[in-house]
Amino acid sequence: MNPQDDVATVFAEARPDDPPPGTALDIKQVMRDGYRARRRNRAAVAGAAAAGVCAVAVVLAFSVTGLPGPDTEERQQLPAADFGFDPALAGYPSDTWDWGVAQPELQEAANDVLGGLAVEAGFVDAAALEYDMPSQDAVEAEMAEQDLGYFGALSELGYLNHPLQFSDWNTPGNAGQVQLRGYVARDGDEEADRSSFTVTAMQPGGWTAEPGPTGEDVFPQHLLGDEASWSETAPEFTSEDLDDGRTLIVADHGCALEAVVVYPNASALKSTWDVDCEGQGRDLTVEQLSAAMLAMPQIEYDTSELRPITGLVEVPPGWPYSEDWETEAAPDADASIDAATAVLDGAFPGVELTSFQPNQADPGYSGRRAYAADYKMPFEDASGYPVHAHVRYYLPGGWLPGLPPEGSSAEAYLLNCGGPGDDKDDVCEETEVDGRMVVTRSWGLGDSVSTWVAVYDPAGWAVEFNTMAEGDVDGYAHGDLVALAASLPAPVYDPQEYER
């Protein structure tokens, strides 16, 4: 029998001074049962995780190239990246959607290595990982027929929400002025509030592995947070630099574990595991997670759109989502909307307030706090339809005044002058009324004209008025709407609470 036919022997011989401890998986029985290659590798890695990094490295080499040969500098060192700029201070364009492409090497390795770990630790059943992708021909046909990207086509074909199934992923950095890209996989439980594990493959650009404050307002983004999150105490960190150019960082939260591997090509792999934060009783150690993460290969990504980021505008930090804020802010929102309604009714007697509420605008992005109100105006437009209007007060934090500079991301701004492909003929203007900045945006669709007016107060708040009407309406022309928005009173809030 050849050594490579006996994976358990490979493990034992990898570190003869430190034999692997017992495991619930009988590797030799797995082999005898004739599992196909992928499940064989998965079982091997899961059983070896407790043996340490060196043993798993041998398994990885075996699974890809056979038994490792003599250690040479060429074999030890992974290919490095040379961008000519710091990838941490770089990013991708924000106007790209469904950009992702298949990463079969990443998916296969994750199923083999992290899938085995997830099964062994009690996160998923082995059967849940036995799913097959649609054929490439079927995916390409769906892409052409539905005008979809790769992962959109997979979703339409019903291939979605499987455990450890990767899909394309992007997130804004520096309040949306730049985008980060990668691929993300979760546990596939759509009913759960939070996935029991998450694996994110980060493409180069816009992040740092140094622990620090997390969130989309930070740039570069920290892959690991340094504050208490999964438990009441901050995580304990360990870090190791490997000879092949990789770096492993582990965050131990007590009831949860996070690990990041940074590769020489400036990509990274991060995984987060809720071991026992709600008494689930799963069994996963730092050593097991470290070994599995280091068994994952370096992946080469398309970085042709990666660009160094210069001239970023500092955005006032937004507000984290709060389940209590809307209730607590209700009295101030009521007073603010009552005052705004009185002004609108003075200009157009009979205006009807149809709905209003405090609102955490885009809570997953910048945490903007706002008071929003909808109105039915006491007249009809030229087509005989009722005219509706909307008022939104923005409290300080998470946004910038004015219009975004040409060619830059509009995510941090309240008004955007549109972009290619939105089928609108936008007309935008930035002016000043009574010492305050006023931005307008209007566009026509058919005979209807939509008008947006935003007034920015030096105190840090803003008010936005928008409406749509067809034809001319007496007293409702563009200049009238600017004057009306500028006359709306200040919102009620505690300025000291918003000083940061």
**What does the pLDDT look like over 426-482, one tens digit per residue?**
899 999 999 999 999 998 887 889 999 999 999 999 999 999 999 989 999 999 999
Mark whether 82 and 55 lie in a shared domain: no
Mark whether 50 and 184 lie in a shared domain: no
pLDDT values of the chain reduced to their tens digit, one per residue, 500 residues: 433 333 333 333 333 333 333 333 333 333 233 323 333 444 444 444 434 333 333 333 333 333 233 343 444 578 888 899 999 999 988 666 666 777 889 999 999 999 999 999 999 999 999 888 888 899 899 999 998 888 888 889 888 889 999 988 988 887 777 889 999 999 988 788 889 999 999 999 999 999 998 877 678 999 999 999 999 899 999 999 999 999 999 999 999 999 999 999 999 999 999 999 989 989 999 999 999 999 999 999 999 999 998 877 788 888 888 889 999 999 999 999 999 999 999 999 999 999 999 999 764 456 899 999 999 999 999 999 999 999 999 999 989 999 987 766 777 889 988 654 455 578 999 999 999 999 999 988 878 899 999 999 999 999 999 999 999 899 999 999 999 999 999 999 999 999 87
Mark whether 395 and 457 lie in a shared domain: yes
> Pairing relation of β-strands 207-208 and 221-222?
parallel
Mark whether 257 and 268 lie in a shared domain: yes
Task: Please tell me the predicted confidence (pLDDT) of residue 423.
Answer: 53
Q: Tokens for 163, please give them.
A: 């455990």
In a domain, 313, yes or no: no
Boundary-marking domain end, from 76, 107, 127: 76
In a domain, 316, yes or no: no
Mark whether 301 and 410 lie in a shared domain: no
Whole-number Å distance between alpha carbons of 54 and 317? 44
Whole-number Å distance between alpha carbons of 201 and 113? 14
Boundary-marking domain end, from 258, 281, 308: 308
Structural domain containing residue 422: 325-498
Q: Are 481 and 451 in contact (CB under 8 A)?
A: yes
Q: Which residue has the tokens 């309040």?
A: 175
Whole-number Å distance between alpha carbons of 250 and 256? 11
Q: List C-alpha distances in Å: 76 to 69, 73, 128, 297.
A: 11, 5, 35, 13
Closest CA to 129 of 118, 121, 137: 118
Task: Please tell me the predicted confidence (pLDDT) of residue 362.
Answer: 64
Instruction: Return the axis-axis angle of helices 53-65 and 286-294, rounded to nearest 10°.
Output: 30
Is the pTM higher than 0.75? Answer: no
Whole-number Å distance between alpha carbons of 410 and 441? 14
Mark whether 131 and 62 lie in a shared domain: no
Task: Please tell me the predicted confidence (pLDDT) of residue 12.
Answer: 34
In a domain, 187, yes or no: yes
Task: Please tell me the predicted confidence (pLDDT) of residue 107.
Answer: 93
Mark whether 285 and 335 lie in a shared domain: no
Long-range contacts of 424-427 (CB under 8 A, 24+ apart): none
pLDDT in tens, 127-155: 999 888 888 899 899 999 998 888 888 88
Mark whether 116 and 214 lie in a shared domain: yes
Mark whether 353 and 452 lie in a shared domain: yes
Q: What percent of the chain has pLDDT over 90?
A: 58
Boundary-marking domain end, from 308, 333, 352: 308
Number of domains in the chain: 3
Mark whether 197 and 338 lie in a shared domain: no
In a domain, 407, yes or no: yes
Mark whether 160 and 286 lie in a shared domain: yes
In a domain, 240, yes or no: yes
- Tell me the helix, strand and coil percentages in the chain, rounded to 5: 25, 25, 45
Whole-number Å distance between alpha carbons of 229 and 251? 11
In a domain, 319, yes or no: no
Mark whether 391 and 296 lie in a shared domain: no
In a domain, 451, yes or no: yes
Task: Please tell me the predicted confidence (pLDDT) of residue 1.
Answer: 40
In a domain, 173, yes or no: yes
